[in-house]
Amino acid sequence: MRSHYCGLVDESMIGQTVTLCGWADVARDLGGVCFIDLRDHEGIVQVVAEPSDAQGNAAVVKAAADVGYEDCLRITGVVRARHAVNDRIRTGKVEVVATDIEVLNKAEPLPFHAHENAGEDIRLKYRYLDLRRPEMQKMMRTRIRLVQSLRRWLDARGFQDIETPILTKATPEGARDFLVPARLHPGEFYALPQSPQLFKQILMVAGFDRYYQIARCFRDEALRADRQLEFTQLDMEFAWVSERDVQDAVEGMIREVFKDVIDVELDAQFPRLTWAEAMRRFGSDKPDLRIPLELVDVAELVKDCGFKVFADAANEDGGRVAALRIPGGAALSRKQIDEYGAHAAKYGAKGLAYAKLDESGAVNSPIAKFFDESAFAALLQATGAQAGDMVFFGAGAYNKVCDFMGAVRLKAGKDFGLVESTWKPLWVTDFPMFEWDEEESRYVALHHPFTAPAIDDISELKANARIAVSRGYDMVLNGNEIGGGSIRIHRPDMQSAVFDLLGIGAQEAEAKFGFLLDALRYGAPPHGGIAFGIDRIAALMAGTESIRDVIAFPKTTTAQCLMTGAPSPVPEVQLAEVHVRAVPKATVPKD
């Protein structure tokens, strides 16, 4: 239907007749001479319809004059050099003088104009119009190139791309499952996978050696800006490996892909932090290393002070007192300081103490009064504070202090323009194996129940569960966990022991994970892997905050597709076929 793409017409074609297909991006009638900017996915070219002696020319000019926004057109014409060169577009040195204009499909008046940024709801309803915008095309195509580049790397290295089921058994990884009633088995349900975790482990037992899948995963959780009901991960697994084998391989992959897709050179060697160090220095297990601020532990200096909040935390086992110095932070107003307090409170802080050092070096701090002058000076000195700085202090339980002081660090980094414009990847390793769940008064797995502990001895693990370290690892980029993985348990006795520590009894373990335990009994090899969040990496590469910009048909935070209208009511007869009945709304309040 066409001879060339609109966006690729160039000077080499001058004098040639071309046939182009595309949309009318703009159409102007300047007193009998009409200009149409014709757009396809490659770009825009200017088409001119001007009166001449040629046969049928009047009809062409008339057709051009009738063209409206986003009409779908097929235009034949002759390429010629343009008088007024337009440097902003690739085709700016040429234009096409139309000899035929065919309207393939007339567009009705648009619900929003392609050149404005309309509200997100209307953009999602008319997603096809939104996706036509060059900005959206560019972001989506970045994602497509990311996946292509990953596959190229993986295929070249013998990773086997294997599909695992979408209709599977209820998985146990914390989040809520999506359920699918089984027509042939009344009262029974399939579940959509939260990840292919168990299948990929089984594939290692099955001898596939190296596996990957660009896998769709499903979690029925509260939606946030960066969450979708369904999301895509690059899922990988390796047999016969240690953690460094996995890490070195995928670090090389990520480096190559960033170079390939967005021409960015990442560090030749990603820095490595243990979980403990990351928490201590940055208050986060996914530290944004673009921000040159670090927490400083000051418990030793406040043990004996008169400020009970500090002294208690400093003296308690599992307490922490940490300070964060913000260079130039003395510029914060009273109101802004309160905003920091409120921000910290969102992350669990009961209060956020501070000390402000004005340009003269005078200190303004509500907690100064609890200290000897020299002790307070020593405290400030420990934080490295200088004239013009602000120091925030947090005290309380270790992980909580990390959480809110880490949040304060991020806010300060942004507010003070301290976020370097660069890419800062790192590995976080040596995660705790278990977390103690106060509410349920039992251990929960920090990664998932299939992560191997660093300790090989079962009785040692049981004796030291609280401080046991796992063989899990995360890849972090600019404050985002972009990949997470671990070496898995490959011995059935160890897997049973870990289930036991997690309060999963033998019977429950058999019912839920019997097939995994079985598989481990028949010569399962040592194995490990990782999964990368494709949506997030694509968003980072595309330079957008929202993963919705790199998903063709995303759902809203209320779990709806505004274009198709999913979810929707279903006739009773269809429900009866799959042996379920909807429970009336009145009896179940929305959450």
Give the residue with the Cβ less far from a copy of itself, 30 or 588: 588
Whether the Cβ atoms of residue 396 and residue 350 lie closer than 8 Å to each other: yes
160 annotated binding-site participant:
no
Of the candidates 534, 540, 548, the one whose C-alpha atom is nearest the C-alpha of residue 236 is 534
Q: What is the spatial distance between Cα 295 and Cα 404, in angstroms, rounded to a whole number? A: 11
Answer yes or no: is 220 a known binding residue.
yes
First to last CA, the chain: 52
- The reply on whether position 566 binds a copy of itself by CB under 8 A is yes
Tokens of 389: 């700085």
- Nearer CB in complex with a copy of itself: 98/352: 98
Within 65-94, the residues that bind a copy of itself by CB under 8 A are: 70-72, 74
Residue 506 binding a copy of itself, by CB under 8 A: no
**Is 467 or 573 the residue whose CB approaches a copy of itself more closely?**
573
Neighbours of 32 (CB within 10 A): 10
Span of 174-182, 391-399, 434-442, 466-474 interacting with a copy of itself by CB under 8 A: 174-182
Question: Would you say 173 is a known binding-site residue?
Answer: yes
Q: What is the DSSP letter of 486?
A: E
Question: How far is residue 63's CA from residue 100's CA, in Å, rounded to a whole number?
Answer: 9
Is 230 annotated among the ligand-binding residues? no
**Is 535 part of any known ligand binding site?**
yes
Written as six digits, the tokens of 275 are: 């979980």
Site stretch for a copy of itself (CB under 8 A), options 46-54, 78-86, 203-211, 259-267 = 203-211
Q: Which of 3, 28, 113, 240 binds a copy of itself (CB under 8 A)?
A: 240
Query: What residue ranges in 417-471 does DSSP mark as E strands?
Result: 425-429, 434-437, 442-445
The nearer residue to a copy of itself, 71 or 95, going by C-beta atoms, is 71
Q: Does residue 531 belong to the site contacting a copy of itself (CB under 8 A)?
A: no
Element (H, E) at 62: helix 57-65
Find the length of the chain: 591
Task: Name which of residues 111 to 150 contact a copy of itself (CB under 8 A).
Answer: 126-132, 137, 140-141, 144, 147-148
Q: Which of 93, 169, 227, 303 binds a copy of itself (CB under 8 A)?
A: 169
Least distance (Å) between residue 28 CB and a copy of itself: 18
Residue 40 engages a copy of itself in binding (rule: CB under 8 A): yes
Strand order across the beta sheet in which 363-364 lies = 295-297, 319-326, 390-397, 353-357, 363-364
Is 205 a binding residue for a copy of itself by CB under 8 A? The answer is yes
Using rule CB under 8 A, residue 187 touches a copy of itself: yes
Of 47-55, 167-175, 401-409, 457-465, which segment contacts a copy of itself by CB under 8 A? 167-175
Smallest separation, CB 173 to a copy of itself (Å): 14
**How far is it, in rounded angstroms, from Cα 460 to Cα 29?**
83
Interaction residues for a copy of itself, span 386-415 (CB under 8 A): none
DSSP symbol at 329: G
Residue 553 binding a copy of itself, by CB under 8 A: yes
Rounded distance, CA 396 to CA 322, Å? 9
Q: Which stretch binds a copy of itself (CB under 8 A): 8-16, 28-36, 237-245, 432-440?
A: 237-245
Binding residue for a copy of itself, selected from 30, 84, 184, 225, defined by CB under 8 A:
184
Q: Which residue has the tokens 């793409």?
A: 5
**By CB under 8 A, is residue 203 in contact with a copy of itself?**
yes
Q: Which is nearer to a copy of itself, 463 or 552 (CB)?
A: 552
> Is 488 labeled as ligand-binding?
yes
Distance from the Cα of residue 160 to its chain's centroid: 25
Cα separation of 122 and 113, whole Å? 11
- Binding flag, residue 585, a copy of itself (CB under 8 A): yes
Residue 376: burial class (beta carbons within 10 Å; 0-12, 13-18, 19+): buried
Cβ atoms of 456 and 470 within 8 Å: the answer is: no
**Which of residues 50 and 209 has its CB atom nearest to a copy of itself in the complex?**
209
Say if residue 367 carries a ligand binding annotation.
no
77 is in an annotated binding site: no
Q: Are 412 and 418 in contact (CB under 8 A)?
A: yes
Could you count the other beta carbons within 10 Å of the beta carbon of residue 144?
A: 14
Residue 156: how many CA atoms within 13 Å on its side-chain side?
A: 9
- Applying CB under 8 A, does 494 fall inside the site for a copy of itself? no
Residue 15 Rama label (left phi>0; alpha psi -120 to 50; beta):
left
Q: How many residues bind a copy of itself (CB under 8 A)?
A: 123
**Which of positions 451-490 make contact with a copy of itself (CB under 8 A)?**
490
The response to whether 474 counts as a known ligand-binding position is no
Subset of residues 277 to 306 that bind a copy of itself, contact rule: CB under 8 A: none
Known binding residues for ATP are 219-221, 228, 481, 533-536
Known binding residues are 173, 219-221, 228, 447, 481, 488, 533-536
